[in-house]
Amino acid sequence: MTFDLSIITANAGAIWNAFLVTIYTWLAGSVLGLMAGLLIAALMLFGGRPLQLLLRVFIELVRGTPFLVILFLVYYGGPSFGLRLGAMTAGVLCIAFYSSVYFAEIFRSGFAAVPRGQLEAGECLGLGRLQLLWRVQLPQMLVLILPAIFNMLTILCKETAVLSIITVPELTAVLTGIGTRTFTFIETLLVLCIAYLLLIEITSRAGRWLEHRVGIYLQR
Amino acid sequence: MFDWPTFLFSLPLLGKALLITLQTSLLGNAFGFVIAILISSMQLAKMPLLRRLGGSYIFIFRGVPLLVQLLVIYYLAPMFGLPNLSPMVAAVMALSLCSGAYIAEILRGGLMAIPSGQSEAAHLLGMSRPAILLRIELPQAVQSTLPSLVNELVLLIKASALVSVVGLADLTRVAQNLASSDYLFFQHYLVLAGIYCLINIPLTMFGRRLERHLERSLA
């Protein structure tokens, strides 16, 4: 058993590219998921009863399914419907799809937490439905749901490791690939763990900082 | 579109695989619970070193993806003198180590909510520190965090799909094998998703009922 980090420096370029792929799939998937989640939450709030029920069932079904299975359904099952996606596209879309229902739940609870009196006051001042949403509800609930959003972001960052199973060339895939080729599991797995720990720590620190920044007005 | 004979043929195989999935997640949850008791009491200990150790455990096992933890155990165990680790053992090890960190965070919240007067009173009655933890504090902490613990179990059952990677014939692995034998990918994976939902959705609902029940009993 030897420990030799030269295998990491020799493959630094490939590892850096894999790191960028991890960041890209994570952030692109999350941003799409946030937008889809906001849309679902808004539809549940303003859509009629049947739509609400339908979305509820959709949310429960997606939440009951492992991310890996969703990935398999889209990537391997998609071609049955003519849905042929590259591994990377499928990965980003799956992260967006999977996270959208969790984000929707977070947004929904955020909307519910803004006091009703404010909506009534806004209505009295002649604000339209959309203006109310954009000017009154959204800014306040964003402050309230920030911790939950960042928690979800760290979870998604870890889910990107699963994309290695459908051959997306991200960190886990590339580093374990190097490990099996050169039989240097200790070094590659160590770097892999450190990379994820760093990403998660930076994200949660950024979350706490932002929480503090936007939360200042609440303390006044 | 949906090939019924294939579906009926696959049912007994999937049933057997379901047992493996349930076995790994329940074992992982049980061992994880034991680890969590240790870690959360370390975090609430007075000695700074113990607190630091407990905190590091949680930091590492919550910060590294479960898939990577699985790979670490699977690849590195032979190098540290544990050859021929069966997939089942590797899977249960990874699941319990990981869920231990998450459950510890939940239990810590529950333990911190218990008034300190209780442990002081028990101490005066002559109970030892472990006895106070196991017989006075833990039962209350578990009761007050039961909804979160059920939620954690659902997450663990979903996470157990990853053990297919180390070659354990769980639900996901068997569905994969079925799909690659007859190319009915979409159908097999749809059935797979359905089975996971059939376990997870009732469990989630049960957790929510517990939560409402708890809120009412506290109000």
- Residue ranges and CATH numbers for the domains of chain B are 4-218 (1.10.3720.10)
**A105-156 pLDDT per residue, tens:** 999 888 888 888 888 898 899 888 888 888 888 888 888 899 899 999 999 9
Residue B50: its pLDDT value, please?
Answer: 92
Residue B67: its pLDDT value, please?
Answer: 93
Which residue range is the domain that position A55 belongs to? 6-219
Q: How far is B155 from chain A (nearest CA, A)?
A: 9
Q: Does B196 sit within 8 Å of A65, measured CB to CB?
A: yes
Mean pLDDT along residues A165-187: 90
Cβ atoms of residues A56 and B208 within 8 Å: no
> Sorting pLDDT into bands at 50, 70 and 90, what band is A1?
low
Mean pLDDT by 10 residues, chain B (219 residues): 82 91 94 94 90 94 93 84 81 93 92 89 90 89 90 93 89 91 89 94 92 81
Q: Establish if A1 belongs to a structural domain.
A: no
Q: What is the mean pLDDT of chain A?
A: 89
Residue A36 confidence (pLDDT) above 90? yes
Q: CB B109: neighbour CB atoms within 10 A?
A: 14
**A37-55 pLDDT per residue, tens:** 999 998 988 888 899 999 9
Q: Tell me which of A58-67, A159-168, B1-10, B133-142 is least confident.
A: B1-10
DSSP A7: H
Q: Does A61 sit within 8 Å of B192, measured CB to CB?
A: no
Mean pLDDT along residues A179-186: 86
- Provide the CATH number for the domain around residue A37: 1.10.3720.10
The number of domains in chain A is: 1
Q: Does B71 sit within 8 Å of A193, measured CB to CB?
A: no
Residue B165: its pLDDT value, please?
Answer: 87
Cα–Cα distance between A34 and A145 in angstroms, integer? 12
Q: Is A33 on the interface with B (CB under 8 A)?
A: no
Residue A8 confidence (pLDDT) above 70? yes
Residue B5: its pLDDT value, please?
Answer: 84
Q: How far is A157 from chain B (nearest CA, A)?
A: 8
Q: Which of A80, A81, A193 lies nearest to residue B64, judging by beta carbons?
A: A193
> Sorting pLDDT into bands at 50, 70 and 90, what band is A218?
low
